[in-house]
Chain A
């Protein structure tokens, strides 16, 4: 907020200037990244194993390490994942059921990384509404996902938006601090001003009911994209739910999709 305004003022006086810097940053101890997602339904679900790269290296999705991965739940399901390609593993029998706690065990290079996560109850995704909003005098369309928050407090939501089949990389997170027990009327507005829904666009929105830890994880990630680096708060890595020195998250959430085309 603050920085946007300062930046805006600097433009008024036409003195603000941008410059691309050339800084050499290396990442000598590239960590393993485990990105695992279980949603409600039949599966299959995928686990991606990769390594972090330095900021100017080509992203490598296929590490040399071969992994053994098991996923189970608190009511006796247990599945051994199969490798579908380098770094990508797939479940065979596992079903995602809300309210259950899931466990993951990843064996790589004599190390075992484990995590657990409870899939929250599902809240129905009723419909999508389109709203128009004026930002600096320019009319833009926004999507309002409609659902009714349950009366108990402590519900968290994440929305993933695709505009014309391309993933909008903004993080849309909601909680019920403000609207506990009410129908949602908060639109999805991207911090990135380049991401705008226009006329004739097709929009697909996924609603995920997530738990508090997952909310905190994505909320921390969203700050990285929102503000980059500034002098006030130091950016940091989100807290993984894996034990051990790895990056990534074992995510368990419900999933429901709605699509719409902007015709107005």
Chain B
């Protein structure tokens, strides 16, 4: 069955392949590139032929490379950040299959590769390869290494503020980012309302952020895709890593199940703040319990096929006193089978499922109220990558995801009080991608996604009653939204060091997050009233490398036009939303900006400066007299400076400075009296600004070798060195001393946050 499907897909793809003919016999040289010590496959290693400067090929996420060569002797150089360059000789007289192991650079050497670089001639625009080294070495917050705190230092990416893991990419909302964990979507990446993310850094192998111009195999969100890949267990030896920070302890164990054939990786992270809370009489009735459990299994079935099983289980449980509780959690499971159908064709079959829930509990003497919201998904993906020849790579595949949403159910004493009807949505996608080198200087990446989204129950019903919830299915017909999402990126090399890139992409989004301060986090899907969100992004980039890639300069400008953007209507109480559709209005949006990044990629001193100037607005009927207004995520300026200095072989200093324009918010403009009470009159939506956000962090990392196989690392960090009181929220209240005056109070979450973390590996 599956074989038949694979075959017919292959046939379709073969028919779609543009007829590029070549007369002379060529052979393929292919294989996998991996880390000699850990056996990890390496993404982004460059294969360079003979004396050429141009890269012939870059390895994909499974470490795979494939090049086409005419018969003869070749010298092949493999270059990868953080590894010793390797040169091999190849005699091409037949198809060559060669796996290559790279030796990592000795850790305590003067060359520290800090930021990963894209290859100058890749035709992908707005892609950021995230250096896990940067995540490791930048200052920690509460002792946690956190990828989501590092990506906000990249150009075009901004943070939602202190105590928040939400990030905004190119003026898009937080729900417009697709976060993938080994291919499975994550619906809430935050712990403790956003103090740190669910991603335990010990587990992450690499991560890539696409800022809206992702290849056609990705889609479903308007602004970005953050593709996180986890580590495989070591195939040769057992390893244990343990760490302790201010608020969490963590341990990970990995090793072979059968040497060189199968391995496991298990990581557990748990908070240990409750004993701190118990020390205070005031807070001892409050509890914070958080855990993350990650696991991965890898099996090399034969030389051409591998099986991966990856899972995540995590939960937050927070109790405030005896009467209020909040909990939420994610569950993910992904199974991937990678198979080389031939030397040139890789097939990846993935099955995944995920579930996210959010629960609020309020206990009163008379009743227990539980407000619940959840989303689940089940997906199948089939991806093919065909390295036709050195100049042409084709990607194609299809995927289906079934979503089940329950935006809100309120239970009172275990009987349902009200609920929105459960909705199912089926997303089917067929995509095709052609990556081609048209000449030695001109590269193009063409892609298209054909997507269909079927909503099973189009009408949103709000069911009320006392344990007598019935759903009227007769009037609920299904409805399908079809979309064609073209993607194109062209890249032109002006010279060996300089390239320009031009890109266009359309993205469509069928899931929407209602983030309401009272209930929080309700994922909803399209209905007959809520249409898919659509974005069209145009971008232009210029990149220059200097001094043998020591320095790099990037300029990017973009313009994004958005349709069917949602926002809360004016003058609607959100306290107890039963009918969420009645409080939503939809309209258009636009976002545009300029991004600059200067980086020094390696050396004793390395780091980058990134700056974005941007605007993000919405225009929705019924809001702000139908005029354009600032989106919540609008930030005019956003500056990050990241610096790393290797003081000695073991001692690394790092610092981060950030500045961004304050959040767009709505201030009251006046006061008036209704019913004997003074109330505020509000002005234009999001027309005011919180004071600007700025902060400097410093850290020291000290690594020491304890025994032959044992090493430890201390990290001392100070968050917010000069104690800037950055606004978290601003409230307007009647001045208790003089009720004709208004007191404006700013709440800042953190002044200084020192932290210590220790990691032991053996």
Q: A residues touching B (Cβ–Cβ < 8 Å)?
A: 1-13, 15-23, 25-27, 30-31, 33, 35, 37, 48, 50-59, 61, 131-137, 144, 153, 160, 167, 169, 173, 175, 177-178, 180-182, 185-187, 215-224, 226-239, 247-249, 251
Stretch at the interface among B146-154, B551-559, B574-582: B574-582
Q: Verify B672–A50 contact, CB threshold 8 A.
A: yes
Residue among A17, A153, A226, A233 with the highest chain B CB neighbour number at 10 A = A233
Among candidates A13, A35, A237, residue contacting B673 with C-beta atoms closer than 8 Å: A35
Inside 8 A of B574's CB, which chain A residues have their CB? 223, 233
- The SS class assigned to the A binding surface is mixed
Least Cβ–Cβ distance between B23 and chain A, in angstroms: 63
Inside 8 A of A238's CB, which chain B residues have their CB? 571, 573
Q: Verify A230–B729 contact, CB threshold 8 A.
A: yes
Among candidates B195, B571, B745, residue contacting A236 with C-beta atoms closer than 8 Å: B571
Q: How far, in angstroms, from A67 to B273 measured CA to CA in the complex?
A: 63
Q: Which residue of A lies closest to B416 (CB)?
A: A178
Residue among B320, B678, B685, B751 with the highest chain A CB neighbour number at 10 A = B320
Q: How far, in angstroms, from A52 to B679 measured CA to CA in the complex?
A: 10
Q: How far, in angstroms, from A57 to B320 measured CA to CA in the complex?
A: 39
Least Cβ–Cβ distance between A201 and chain B, in angstroms: 19
Q: How far, in angstroms, from A234 to B273 measured CA to CA in the complex?
A: 33
Least Cβ–Cβ distance between B762 and chain A, in angstroms: 32
Asked if B659 is at the interface (CB within 8 A of a chain A CB), the reply is no
Q: How far, in angstroms, from A21 to B367 measured CA to CA in the complex?
A: 41
Among candidates A9, A18, A26, residue contacting B195 with C-beta atoms closer than 8 Å: A9
Q: Verify A17–B671 contact, CB threshold 8 A.
A: no
Asked if B90 is at the interface (CB within 8 A of a chain A CB), the reply is no
Q: Verify B669–A54 contact, CB threshold 8 A.
A: yes
For this complex, 30 residue pairs linking A to B, each with C-beta atoms less than 8 Å apart, are A2-B517, A2-B520, A3-B729, A9-B195, A9-B288, A10-B163, A10-B750, A12-B280, A12-B286, A15-B749, A18-B745, A19-B745, A19-B748, A22-B744, A35-B673, A37-B675, A52-B672, A53-B671, A57-B671, A133-B323, A180-B465, A215-B573, A216-B572, A219-B576, A224-B680, A231-B160, A234-B685, A236-B571, A236-B572, A239-B570
Among candidates A5, A37, A48, A216, residue contacting B326 with C-beta atoms closer than 8 Å: A5
Residue among B517, B520, B667 with the highest chain A CB neighbour number at 10 A = B517
Least Cβ–Cβ distance between A85 and chain B, in angstroms: 15
Inside 8 A of A160's CB, which chain B residues have their CB? 675
Among candidates B365, B466, B675, B752, residue contacting A15 with C-beta atoms closer than 8 Å: B752
Q: Verify B749–A59 contact, CB threshold 8 A.
A: no
B residues 262-296 touching A (CB-CB < 8 Å): 273, 276-277, 280, 283, 285-286, 288
- The 6 tightest CB contacts between A and B, nearest first, are A219-B573, A228-B731, A239-B571, A27-B670, A52-B670, A236-B570
Q: Verify B670–A30 contact, CB threshold 8 A.
A: yes
Q: How far, in angstroms, from A192 to B743 measured CA to CA in the complex?
A: 16
Inside 8 A of B743's CB, which chain A residues have their CB? 20
Inside 8 A of B731's CB, which chain A residues have their CB? 228-229
Q: Verify B740–A58 contact, CB threshold 8 A.
A: yes
Among candidates A6, A131, A178, residue contacting B365 with C-beta atoms closer than 8 Å: A131
Inside 8 A of B194's CB, which chain A residues have their CB? 6
Q: Which residue of A lies closest to B666 (CB)?
A: A234
Among candidates A16, A187, A220, residue contacting B747 with C-beta atoms closer than 8 Å: A16
Asked if B746 is at the interface (CB within 8 A of a chain A CB), the reply is yes
Q: How far, in angstroms, from A170 to B183 measured CA to CA in the complex?
A: 48
Q: Verify B632–A137 contact, CB threshold 8 A.
A: no
Q: How far, in angstroms, from A223 to B318 measured CA to CA in the complex?
A: 24
Q: Which residue of B lies closest to A175 (CB)?
A: B576
Residue among B194, B665, B747, B750 with the highest chain A CB neighbour number at 10 A = B747
Residue among A181, A185, A227, A237 with the highest chain B CB neighbour number at 10 A = A237
Q: Verify B193–A2 contact, CB threshold 8 A.
A: yes
Asked if B35 is at the interface (CB within 8 A of a chain A CB), the reply is no
Q: How far, in angstroms, from A133 to B323 measured CA to CA in the complex?
A: 10
Q: Verify A220–B572 contact, CB threshold 8 A.
A: yes
